[in-house]
Structures are given as structure tokens and as C-alpha cells.
Amino acid sequence: MPQLTLFADPGSKSLGLSPTKKVSTSASSSTGSASAVSKRKAAFTKKGDEPNLWELHHIQEDMAVLNKGQVSGGKRPRSSSSADGRDEKMKGQPDRTAKRHEPEGGGVAGSKDIKKHKNAYEIKGKIANEEDSARVDADPPLNQLIRLMEKGWKEVEKGECVVYWMRMEDMRVEDNTALHKASERAKELGLPLIALYVLSPGDYKIHDRSARKIDFMLRNLNHLKTKLHDLNIPLHITSYPKRLSIPRKLVNETFPFLGANHIFVNIEYEVDELNRDIATVKLGREKGIDVRCFHDRLVVPPGRVKSQAGKPMSVFSPWQRAWAKLLEKEPQLLNLSPLPQANDAAIRQNQRFAKLFEDQIPDSLEGFECTDKETMAEVWPEGTERAKEVLDRFLHTKARKSQIQLTSPLNPGAEPSSKESRVQAYQTGRNLVDGDNSSRLSPYLVSGVISARMVLNEAKKLGKGGNLESGRDTGLGMWVQEVSWRDFYNHVMSTWPRVSMGRPFLEKFADVQWEVNEEHLQAWKDGKTGFPIVDAAMRACNKRGWMENRVRMVSASFLVKSLMLDWRLGEKYFMECFIDGDLAANNGGWQWVASTGTDPQPYFRIFNTLTQSEKCDPNGDYIRYWVPELRHLKGKAVHDPSHHMPLNEFKKLGYPAPIVDHKRSRERALFRYKNVGEKEP
Ligand SMILES: Cc1cc2nc3c(=O)[nH]c(=O)nc-3n(C[C@H](O)[C@H](O)[C@H](O)COP(=O)(O)OP(=O)(O)OC[C@H]3O[C@@H](n4cnc5c(N)ncnc54)[C@H](O)[C@@H]3O)c2cc1C
């Protein structure tokens, strides 16, 4: 039995909140009391229970919080590639027989100076030990869930309704697989369909969800509620602050309260969410409740794209070619699910269900107050209709310089063009940050406000002969490739779940020695490093909750290779700021930059911040907008003011001098990557 069933947990809350009320997030598992933690620990040692290793990791995390930094180191690692004879040998696995360097206190991997160094401690509890993560890789939770889906079904009683349990990435009614399947089943059984949303502040906290993303979720939920009500489908809202209690609470309380024995969900591919679903399916079966899980988030479900030898692939280009071939062979993968059918209006008089129509969606959640709510609502308007307009603009209108600003992507004045539309110009546009050159769809795709299938169907209409282009020779094809990166990183996360447990994909870089430097980390976060393009990007991130891909790479590379700060600190900060924060894409991006990921940038190829700046913002417009101290500078000076101006003039700008020397920091990074575990003499 999964350990999740064993935790003691007080009652759940069904929200009958007024829209202005906040929902408390006080009880996340990571901040539980000492007795709660030891209870959880004891639960694992109970005879006959098979411990779940990622949850064990979270216990370490709890213990770390309680003991302020005394995280258990775990046992000596074993090779994940040998764990189950997985098909693909992990590239870059360390030689297990070689003597390993114990990291010094200065590196985040060490534990000595944790109390002194906030930034080391910040991510300490988030890094699973190598042994635990290798075991999770040996039988990934997605495989376990799929095995469960394939066998062990029993007929269950009809019940009073069919439930669609909506997830954070499901924020739409159109082309929603589980919603459609639930609707079909409801019609077959002659039952009403109920939509359920479970707020889980504990999950949001432990997974570094930003206040902006939570606000976007709540705005979209409100929007969806109206759409569902139009179909006489109520949206029932429940909140479980203790995330690990969710399966038990649902099976013992919420589903019986609704009289539901048929539950339909779309799969979330993150480890914790998969473990939650495995537990819910198992518990449900014990209680005569049938929980069915569907692939929906991606165009091609994880595990479908394999090498010719049937092995999982970790290099993007061949993976992408196989992805495109599969779509050619099975074009039905792009088919959209029909809309759900309406319930009979009589449901509004039904004693059990009528009151569910009154469930309120809170304006905000405690601990996730969005301080720039109005700006976010303007810049990232909610709803599938808006997402479709954003897509339409990208496919059919020209880029505009004014979109550098903190402004709505749907502002009037976009000029239609078929030859010079943003997508047609994407080959060069994607690397520029001085306009709206990319689609800006990421917040919508991440939260599922629009599906990747919907997006690609529109792109297909523009392809030659109505085919889906995905080659690098056209802007359209290149953009489709970009969308496939989203599938790719989810495939990576589901196949090697350890990447989402704080581990580098390439374990050989696990002990790279990082600096611990509060001031540098803060300067990077605040956009005050003295490197204008990095500062512009970080200020855009702080104000807009979103950055263009090129500057995500540049600022991430600066943190890792120039400041030599642990990539996981940056990964966490992006998640805390972004409206489009997404574990798979963010982790994939950071591991690419840190040279630790699947198919990463080689460690010896280090971005030159200045060259990147001149290439992606040739006129300096982006810098001048986001870094107003530099708004009067002309020519090259805007990219590198301290080296283009007399010192006294530079001082008058009120802009910081560079906090590191590029050449020296480059040499430091090369040394530390080449000599893992060591610091330069
Ligand atoms: C360090 C770093 C962190 C990142 N963090 C995130 C994140 O948290 N969430 C996120 O959605 N993307 C992330 N990305 C990927 C990429 O930067 C964004 O998806 C993209 O900038 C969003 O802008 P857009 O919608 O205009 O993209 P477009 O260029 O228009 O691309 C269309 C869509 O393709 C997908 N896509 C494009 N590039 C990538 C990529 N490299 N990886 C995965 N999907 C991609 C996105 O869904 C995007 O919306 C990160 C990249 C880096 C280097």
C-alpha cells in the first residue's frame, strides 16, 4: 500500500467562500511539526509498507527544516543505469569506483555552512540524494500509473454522478480529453457530470508556484466556471492544505460526498503528482471508486517517441525527427476532443448538486497574494478566447516594437501580414528581444488555457499542402519545433524523473563547486549586476513575470557560469516569478544552460554576455526600456557602459559597475567543470 494512506490529517475544507476571502495555506508538509514528521517517518517503517522514495526525500526536507540544515546525506549512490538495466545508458555517469570528492562547505552540495549561507540552504532540501533518485528512475511513477491503468479494473456501482477532476494545467473546456471522456461516460450512465477542482496550497508552496501563476489559475477558474455553468455543469471547489492527504481525503470524503464512483483526470507528469494519482487510483479501487487517467498535456504522450531499437531518447534532434514522423504516421494525435455535453437543467434543482453551483473561487490564496494583479490581468488576460487571439496575432500579424513594454499583447494596431507575420519571421525573430517576435503563448500552454493540439492545428493550416511543417528551413517549421521542445522536456521528466528531484541529468557534474554569495544572487535577482542585458531581462522578469527565450538563456548562463551560483537557485527564482513557470521546461532550460542536462550546451561553450546582448538587442531598445538609468545612452555604450564612458560620467548614471570580470569568471567556470569537486588553486 502506498504510504500516503497512513498519515494522520485533520478535515478538509469545502469552500463556501466569498470571492474576497483568502484560503489559508498555513499547513504545508514542509513546515509540519516535529511530531507530524516523526509520525510520517514511522509510517514508512510500518511492516509491509513499501516506502516511496520521493516522499522519503520530502521527509528529509521536513527534517531539514526542523533541524535547520541537518539533512541526512543518504547512502552511497548506485548507478541508475544499472538499476533495472534501462535501455539507454546515462551519458556522463560517474565512475562509481573512483574516489569521490566530498564537497567543501562553500558549495551548495556541502552542508557545513548552511546556517551562514541562506542561498545554499534555500535549495538544500530540494535535492534528493543520488540513490533515491536512481531508484525512482528505475521504475518511473508514470510507468507505474500506466501499469495500474492497464489492469485491475473492476465494475463499480453507478453512483450519483460522474466527476471530472480538473488540474492546474487543464484550464479549458475545449479539447480536454478527461472532460470529454467524463462527459461521454456520464451520458452512457445517464448521470450528471460534475467538475471538481482541488486547491492544494501545500503543493504550490513546495513546488515554488509563483503568486502570478496562482492568480492566473484563479482568474481562469472563474472564467471556466461561467462556461461550465452555461452547460449546467457545477464546478465544485475543495481545498486541502496538506498535500499528502489529498488521495485519502478525496476517496474517503469528497467522492462519497458527491456520490461519485467514476472519476476522470488528465495526467500530470511531475513525480509528486504521479504519486498522488497512483495512491488515489489504488485507494479508489479499495472503495469501489474507478479513477481513470488520460494523456492530454502533450501532443505526443511521453514514452511514444522511441529510437528504432525501441529505446528512450535523450538527444533532442533525433527525438524531434521521430516525433514529427510519428505525427505524420498518426495524424489523429492532433485530433481535438469534442466539447462536453450539457447536463439536464434539472440538476439545478437536485438536492445534492444544486448548491455546488454556489461554490466560490477565492480572489487569492494566503501566501500567494499577487501584488501586481491588475498588470498581470492586462498583460496576460485569462480565457481560451484570449489565448486564441494571442495565437492568431502571432500567426497573422507583424511584430511591433511597442511590445517591449509592459503592455497587453492584444493592444490594437497589429498590422496583418501573411509574408512578414511573426511566425514567418520566426527564424530570425526568435533570437531578438526587441519586439513581440515569439508567440507569448507559454502562460496559456503551461496552464492549458489552450492545448498544444489546438495550436498546432492552426499552424498546420499555414503549412504547404496543409501539412504540419517542422523543419528548420521555415519560420513556421522552426516554431513547430519549438513547441515540440515542450513535449520533449516532459518526455525527459517522465522517463528520468530524477531531473525533477534536484538531480543533474549528467551525474558527473553533481559535485561542481558553486560559490555561495548572497550579494551576487540578490544583484542577479534585482537586475543590478552591471551587465545591462542581464539586468534588463531580470527586471522584465520581475515586472512582467515572463522573459523571452534568448534572455532566459543569457541571464541563466550568467548566474551559472559567470557568478558560479548553483543553477537550482535560478531555477527556483524563475519558478517563483514566472506566470509560465513549468517544472519540465524550466528544469530543462536550466540544465541545458548549466551543461548538466540531456543534450546540453557543452560546458566549455560559455555565452559571452556582451556578444549576446549586441545580437539579441541590436539597437539597445530592450535595455533602454527596462533599465531606465541607461535610457540616454547611444550606440554600443548601452550594452557595456562602464567600458565605454569615462568613470566620472559612468558614476553619474546611478547604474552598478559589473559585479564580475567576464574573462576571469569564464576561466573559473571552465576549471570547475573540468575538475569536478575542486576549486581553482
Ligand atoms: C532557463 C530557462 C527557463 C525556462 N523556463 C520556462 C518555463 O518555466 N516555462 C516555459 O513554458 N518555458 C520555459 N522556458 C522555455 C522558453 O524560454 C519559453 O517557453 C519561451 O520563451 C516562451 O515564449 P513564447 O511563448 O513566446 O515561445 P515561442 O517561441 O513562441 O514558442 C512556442 C511555445 O513552444 C514552447 N517552447 C518554446 N521553447 C521551449 C523550450 N526551450 N522548452 C520548452 N518549451 C518551449 C512553449 O510552450 C512556447 O510557448 C525556459 C527556457 C530557459 C532557457
Buried b (16+ CB within 10 A) or exposed e, 664-679: ebbebbeebbeebbeb
Q: Is the pLDDT of residue 44 over 50?
A: no
Residue 651 CA to ligand 1 center (angstroms) comes to 37
Q: Is 517 a catalytic residue?
A: no
Q: Report whether 486 belongs to an annotated binding site.
A: yes
The per-residue pLDDT for range 209-224, each reduced to its tens digit, is 999 999 999 999 999 9
What's the burial of 186, exposed, middle or buried (CB within 10 Å: 0-12/13-18/19+)?
A: buried
Among 46-50, 487-491, 567-571, whose mean pLDDT is lowest? 46-50
Closest CA to 459 of 443, 477, 436: 477
143-357 with 507-674: one CATH topology?
no
- Nearest CA, atom 19, ligand 1: 442
Q: Is 453 annotated as a binding residue?
A: no
What pLDDT sits at residue 86?
30
C-alpha cell at 309: 531499437
Q: Is 426 annotated as a binding residue?
A: yes
574 lines ligand 1 (CB under 6 A): yes
Centroid of ligand 1 to alpha carbon of 135 (angstroms): 30
- pLDDT category at 119 given cuts 50, 70, 90 is confident
- Ligand 1 centroid – CA 364 distance (Å): 26
Judged by DSSP in three states, 538 sits in helix
Q: What is the DSSP string of 339-392?
A: PPPPPPGGGGG-TTTGGGGG----SEETT---TTHHHHHHHS--SHHHHHHHHH
Residue 637 DSSP label: G
Mean pLDDT of 148-158: 91
Asked if 500 and 448 count as a contact pair (C-beta separation under 8 A), the reply is no
Cβ atoms within 10 A of the Cβ of 446, count? Answer: 24
Q: What is the mean pLDDT of residues 5-13?
A: 27
Q: Which is nearest to 522 in space by CA: 656, 651, 650?
A: 656
Which atom in ligand 1 lies closest to the alpha carbon of residue 586?
5
Residue 482 pLDDT exceeds 70: yes
> Does the pLDDT of residue 387 top 50, yes or no?
yes
| Mean pLDDT confidence for 487-515 | 96
Task: Lowest mean pLDDT of 110-124, 243-257, 492-506, 649-663, name the range.
Answer: 110-124
Please work out whether the CB of residue 553 comes within 6 Å of at least one atom of ligand 1: yes
For ligand 1, say whether the CB of 55 is within 6 Å of any of its atoms.
no
Query: Taking the CA of residue 411 as centre, how many other CA atoms within 13 Å lie in the half-sphere pointing to its CB?
Result: 16
Q: Which atom of ligand 1 is nearest to the CA of 439?
A: 30
Q: Is 439 annotated as a binding residue?
A: yes
Q: Is the pLDDT of residue 665 over 90?
A: yes
How does the average pLDDT of the chain come out, rounded? 86
**Rounded Cα distance, 267 and 145, in Å:** 9
List of residues 6+ apart from 560 with CB closer than 8 A: 566, 567, 570, 590, 593, 594, 669
Indicate which residue's Cα is closest to atom 35 of ligand 1.
Answer: 483
Instruction: Give 323's pLDDT tier (boundaries 50, 70, 90).
Output: very high
Options 1.10.579.10, 3.60.15.10, 3.40.50.300, 3.30.1130.10; CATH for 507-674 is 1.10.579.10
The pTM of the whole model exceeds 0.75: yes
Superfamily of domain 143-357: HUPs (3.40.50.620)
Q: Which atom of ligand 1 is nearest to the CA of 483?
A: 34
pLDDT of residue 527: 98
**Residue 39: its pLDDT value, please?**
47
What's the pLDDT score for residue 93? 35
Domain edges within the chain: 3-10+28-138, 143-357, 369-497, 507-674
> Which amino acid is residue 454, in one-letter code?
M
How does pLDDT run across 160-182, given as a tens digit for each residue?
Answer: 999 999 999 999 999 999 999 99
Residue 53 pLDDT > 60: no
Residue 235, marked binder: no
What confidence category does residue 48 fall into, taking pLDDT thresholds of 50, 70 and 90? very low
What secondary structure letter does DSSP report for 29?
A: G
Mean pLDDT of 494-502: 95
Average pLDDT over residues 221-237: 98
pLDDT surpassing 90 at residue 369: yes
- 165 Cα–ligand 1 center, Å: 27
User: What is the share, in percent, of the chain residues with pLDDT greater than 70?
Assistant: 83
Q: Name the class of domain 369-497.
A: mainly alpha
590: annotated active-site residue: yes
| Whether 178 contacts 164, CB under 8 Å | yes
